Amino acid sequence: MLKPKFNQKYFVNKHSQLSIQCLACKKTRTFPIEILRERQQAIKVKCSCEHTFTIDIEFRKHYRKKVNFLGRYRLATASVEEVKDCTVADLSLGGLSIKIINDESIAEHDELIVNFRLDDQAHHEIERKIQVRHIDQKDRIGGEFIDLESNDPDGPLLF
């Protein structure tokens, strides 16, 4: 029997359905996500072929890529001189996560301006406005893009 070293990760599709494939027999089954939405932890799945495995469900609208970009941020209401250093830890079409050091002035729902350079061939410089959605232990901030540029299908954030 196949025993993966990690849980399989599945993303919910735009129709609010989840298609799960058995690693052993390759059979695929699709479920409406409503029956699984309340479960936050890993879910154990048993296939009709008797193979059992564990999956993680990702409800994000966009794939999130882990990155390590040096950047700068400030409150949207602050002056340009008030920028502080950060590290962009992950990035998606809908938002990003930054690591900060000792800045207790930021709260959920605050708007920030974040600047960083991509590691693409052109080293695009990105400046985006985000709304803080969560703060983890005062050192990691998750934010959603709130400026219109995030909807640009030709923009450099497509990956």
Where is 136: in which H helix or E strand?
strand 125-136
* pLDDT band (50, 70, 90) for residue 148: low
Phi, psi of 68 (to 5 degrees): -150, 75
The per-residue pLDDT for 44 is 85
The per-residue pLDDT for 36 is 67
59-116 pLDDT per residue, tens: 666 677 899 999 999 999 999 899 999 999 999 888 999 999 888 889 999 999 999 9
Hey, how many other C-beta atoms are within 10 angstroms of the C-beta on 149? 12
> How far is 44 from 64, CA to CA, in rounded Å?
24
100-146 pLDDT per residue, tens: 988 888 999 999 999 999 988 888 899 999 999 999 877 899 999 99
For 112, the token pair is 């920030």
Pick the CATH number of 65-151 from 3.40.50.300, 3.90.180.10, 2.40.10.220, 3.40.50.620: 2.40.10.220
The per-residue pLDDT for 41 is 65
30-65 pLDDT per residue, tens: 888 776 666 666 788 889 999 988 888 776 666 778
Instruction: Spell out the long-range contacts of 80-84 with Cβ–Cβ below 8 A and sequence spacing 24 or more.
Output: 83/115
* pLDDT band (50, 70, 90) for residue 150: very low
- CB burial of 57-77 (b: ≥16 within 10 Å; e: otherwise) equals beeeeeebeebebebebbbee
Domain spans in the chain, listed from the N-terminal domain onward: 8-58, 65-151
> How far is 33 from 45, CA to CA, in rounded Å?
14
> How distant, in Å, are the alpha carbons of 8, 62, 91, 96, 149 from that of 115?
33, 21, 13, 11, 14
The per-residue pLDDT for 143 is 94
> How far is 107 from 135, CA to CA, in rounded Å?
7
